[in-house]
Amino acid sequence: MGKLCTKSASHRWLTNFVDWIKPEEATEEKICAQAEELRDRMRGKAKADGLVVRSTPWAGSFAKKTGLRRHMRGNHEVEGQDVDLPFVISPQTKEGEDIKSLLDRFERYARESYPNTKRSPTKCSICLDFQGTKISYDLVPMLAVEGDDKAQVLLTSDGKRRTTSVQKHIEFVRRRTNKSNTQDGRVKFNEGARLVKWWREICQSRSACLEDVPTFLMDLLCAKAFDECGVDETYTETLSRWFGFIAHVVRQRKRVQFSDFPSVVNATESGLWIVLDPVNSANNVVPPSWSNLQLQELTEWFEDARDRMGRVIAADTAGDGGEAREELVALFGNALKDHGGAP
């Protein structure tokens, strides 16, 4: 396949679009300020309650710079920006490590600090939804790991305990973004991941059995595609290669794993398909509830995207901007018409 001109119409539209789908700079500044206020208030409540907060590291797509703007899809508001606020604690007793007790405490801290803000529990956090600013935060109590300031234990309401590292997960993405910054062209790893995550939202909206594909899974599939294929000078070529590579990996149920960090636990062998957490190789991030039905549909998503990107490249080469734009809209939704620039 020959190289596309970096000024091809599809590359220009995708460049404009990826600049639009990321959170606005003003929103990021607001998040930083509000997050610090949240941390201060929660730490103060925890201290008064006898709970020792060791650290409050940044986490999630906000820190990785792979988050999406909050947006409407039909009548449904898509959360977009994922703002996780871990609170790494050292309980004084075993009873203090109980996730229900911790979530009850943090719900109370949030209620006392922000009585008029909507609160809802998840299996491992308390979500605070600030309607006025349209920004929500997940307050995530985690346990400290003695002797390792970059490790935490994540607790979930089903009784599971998983050792992880929010700092290493951020480093994992930043390594690839930094590497892409050294290569020619406009395409960056984290921006490619944004486009793939937006595309996932479109696919989920049309699906009957895949309505919640984990963000972490998409991050890892993009990382493996980047490790194997890198980035090209255009988003068009890059996504074409990524979608094709991932389609093959999912179709063949190829094991996905990384060597960024040494693991002290044995890699998991269970599951129809295995995609390993780079920080904890005992953690298979493919949902255990997925059957071959879900995996087949995921395969079809990526194969369809691969084929459509091939048609975009062919249309670009033939100078058929209308066909290229039509295929991109089928992939990324009608928002690309309004925010991809003039046709």
> What pLDDT digit, counting tens, does each position of 260-281 carry?
998 767 788 888 999 999 999 9
**CB atoms near residue 24 (< 10 Å):** 11
Please tell me the distance from the alpha carbon of residue 162 to that of residue 66, in angstroms, as a whole number.
23
Please tell me the distance from the alpha carbon of residue 60 to that of residue 24, in angstroms, as a whole number.
17
**Cα-flanking dihedrals φ and ψ of residue 117, to 5°?**
-100, 135
* pLDDT, tens digit, 9 for 90 and up, residues 62-107: 889 998 876 545 444 455 556 899 999 987 666 667 888 899 999 9
pLDDT of residue 1: 43
Question: Measuring CA to CA, which residue among 190, 164, 166 is closest to residue 177?
Answer: 190
More confident residue, 342 or 103: 103
For helices 292-318 and 189-206, angle between their N-to-C axes, nearest 10 degrees: 120
pLDDT of residue 2: 43
pLDDT-based confidence at 28, cuts 50/70/90? Answer: confident
DSSP state of 275: B
pLDDT of residue 96: 64
Question: Measuring CA to CA, which residue among 26, 49, 31, 33 is closest to residue 110?
Answer: 49
Average pLDDT over the chain, rounded to whole? Answer: 89
What's the one-letter identity of residue 309?
M
Mean pLDDT over 171-193 rounds to 94
pLDDT of residue 77: 44
Please tell me the distance from the alpha carbon of residue 137 to that of residue 128, in angstroms, as a whole number.
5
Looking at the chain, the whole-number percentage of residues with pLDDT higher than 90 is 68
Question: Measuring CA to CA, which residue among 195, 185, 196 is closest to residue 231?
Answer: 185
Of 95-99, 189-193, 214-218, 288-292, the one with minimum mean pLDDT is 95-99
Q: Which residue has the tokens 């395409």?
A: 187
- Among 132-141, 160-169, 301-310, the range with the most confident prediction by mean pLDDT is 301-310
Provide the 3-class DSSP secondary structure of residue 333.
Answer: coil
pLDDT of residue 289: 93
Q: Are 79 and 97 in contact (CB under 8 A)?
A: no
Instruction: Look at the alpha carbons of 204, 205, 209, 214 in this order and tell me if their dihedral is positive or negative.
Output: positive
